[in-house]
Chains A and B, each alone.
Chain A
């Protein structure tokens, strides 16, 4: 924890500003055996550079699909998606995803997993120091040479987060990254995620179905309907960090969101 704070206190001159995100009338569908399965229905929103936005909605509603579109892994059927006003046409190391499963490469040690982005961009030799810096940042310096199967769920997810942070992403796409962790680990990682975001100023988009998590982390929450996902409401969270769950405004917002999500 002290190591984390130390690393965070040192300025990061290389860290670029966050990307802004624009989605205009985005619709998407999957081809299935029985026909087209619509997953996104006319979704439009804008995210400011450096903003932390949560996409909140029931499981399987299509939020994760939206993240894949933002990452450039898939292209939308209809509508436009852009970053900093430029249309997204494919994946790019400035926009990186963390999945619910850590999806670490099991044949690579933690350090080698963190090195993947540097390897693909051919800068591994030049930026080797980055790996140690990020290992300290995510608190895994003692596990640098461990294999993924030797890690706990929380440590694996830290490694997965570290693997993208090494590349100084300008847009961090978080697909329920804490969804499978135990409550305690989850709380610690929420705090750390927040600190890293505050220090590095990248734009964060967090997909979650956990109302509290959205309220703890995000400046703004987009609430999605059941599939096909539409934005049914949008609300700002006017609270300073770190937030307290027992804060009356927090409690009121949670109540409000939950009542809105209840089946009609």
Chain B
């Protein structure tokens, strides 16, 4: 009786269509961005920075679409996507403003270690060429190494997981050599390889190979025996058992290995670029440090973070496609 009363839906308010729904967090965020821009302009820098005006403009530019979305488009899909980030969109300009006040406006945090946001913006406007070049170099070093390491690691993992002989010889080697960080091989690799580039590619491949091989092997080893039994009674050959049963069943493990390998390859990439390869983001960091160009340092770190998290996001997107048959996947 009471349950029915409670369950009855409340009538929609009649006035709803006259006032379009407002995304209040979005509106607040837009206002804070505008405020941050205004403060940037109104409060003079301690020592004038070249890009203070552009920094203010950028903040206004971010406020504009937020304002439009919050006032007009509460029902738009883009608004729906941004909505969960609402509080971040408010906190971000607040944090940036605090950073700016502590540096450019008051100098409480001293230069050169604490450059203001507008000086990092200046790095992007004035040193874009070198940064883009560094990103290209880093990717050109990372990707061939990563893919060859993933490929060999996968092949070794399948062999070790499947064959008793391969496991007998391969597993102890993986266990003994695997824990060595690939960077520890750096001096040896630079000695054995003709150039720093080939040595670094090899080390990136090595750092990817081990996690991929170990995870693939354990994935193949933990396949439900029933999957093999069914296939065997249905007349499956050994190659069918490996290609169509063991490998697809092990794929969730393989992707964990690919993820771990990717993280390891980032570390090797940066160290290799700092130690021997005279190009790429790692080298850029080294170079910026040499000139005490801290703004460049932070600017490069931000780009690195975007690049690496983007690559991991890409890997997870691929995984979500390949493993769409799986239930309850971990989201990145």
Contacts and interface: CB of A to CB of B under 8 A. Distances in A.
Interface of A: 68, 71-73, 91-93, 95-97, 99, 101, 103, 105-108, 116-117, 119-121, 147-149, 163-164, 167
B226 to A, nearest CB: 4
B325 A149 contact: yes
A108 B231 CA distance: 13
> What 7 A-B pairs are tightest by C-beta distance, nearest first?
A117-B234, A103-B226, A91-B233, A120-B235, A120-B236, A93-B235, A107-B325
Interface stretch (B2-10, B35-43, B237-245): B237-245
Nearest to B245: A105
Given A73-B232, A116-B234, 6 more contacts: A91-B232, A93-B235, A107-B325, A120-B240, A147-B325, A149-B325
Nearest to B247: A107
B235 A92 contact: yes
Given A107-B248, A149-B325, A121 B233 contact: no
* Contact residues of B: prevailing secondary structure: helix
B230 interface: yes
Contacts, number: 68
10 contacts: A95-B233, A99-B229, A103-B230, A105-B227, A120-B235, A120-B237, A121-B235, A147-B325, A149-B327, A167-B234
Nearest to A101: B226
Interface string B212-256: 000000000000101101111111110010001100110100000
Contacts of A72: 233
Contacts of B226: 99, 101, 103
Nearest to B328: A149
A101 B226 CA distance: 9
**Which of B233, B325, B326, B327 has the most chain A CB atoms closer than 10 A to its own CB?**
B233
Contact of B231 (A95, A116, A147): A116
Given A107-B325, A147-B325, A73 B234 contact: no
A10 B227 CA distance: 33
Contacts of B237: 120
Contacts of B227: 103, 105
Given A101-B226, A116-B230, A147-B325, A91 B245 contact: no
Contact of A93 (B224, B229, B234, B326): B234
A75 to B, nearest CB: 13
A96 B233 contact: yes
Contacts of B224: 103
Contact of A71 (B233, B236, B244, B326): B233
Contacts of B229: 68, 71, 73, 97, 99, 103
Contacts of A105: 227, 245, 248-249
Nearest to B230: A103
B244 to A, nearest CB: 7
Nearest to B323: A107
